[in-house]
Amino acid sequence: MTLCASACTTEAEQRRIEAEKQRVAAEEKRKQDEELERRAEKLAEEKKQQDEQIEAKAKQLAVEMAKEMHAEQKKEEAKDKVERKREALAILQRNPAPFFEASGMEFFNKGIVNRYQQLTKVTLTNKSAFFVRDIRGQVDFLDNRNETVATIPVHLEGPLPPRGTRTYSGTEITGNTVQTDATKARFLVTTAVADDS
């Protein structure tokens, strides 16, 4: 009986020791699993932060690139605008007639027997985008078939704003007289000084 009790106690003790070992092993495994989970969470958080930083840098880079492209586009547009303005100015100086429209011409007849006509008033519209001054042109007197029968040179003093209209008269007009009975006339601008402003 003593032998059995002793053996039973040892067996029970061994079972208790084995159970304790299993409990300690399970506790250790639980701690390891928790540590692994904590590390995995930490790594996931670090990766998330890195991804957010990369995304923020990518957005910042995209904004900077967009700004640079916009600035470059603005620079190109300004350059194109300057070039177009330069071309328009060159065209105006080469062939100004299409940029001006004359109306309201009045003439003074200096003749007694023959008719000597001189331009005394003209309204000029500047259809260009430039201020112009020192306008020189000619008045063509026309017959019934609209053919030129006489011409006088004319100089107009005073600035004319872009897309503006001005009536020139008196001392603002310098011009010759011409002997003609023609009742129709047209005014053509031949030169004008344009201010690129």
> For 68-72, 84-88, 145-149, which range has the lowest pLDDT when averaged over its residues?
68-72
Query: How confident is the model at residue 63, as a pLDDT?
Result: 85
- CATH second-level architecture of 99-195? Sandwich (2.60)
Query: How confident is the model at residue 25, as a pLDDT?
Result: 85
**What residue segments make up the domains of the chain, in order of their start?**
1-94, 99-195
pLDDT tens by residue, 43-59: 888 888 888 888 888 88
pTM: 0.60
Q: What percent of the chain has pLDDT over 90?
A: 38
Asked if residue 129 lies in contact with residue 162, where contact means CB atoms within 8 angstroms, the answer is yes
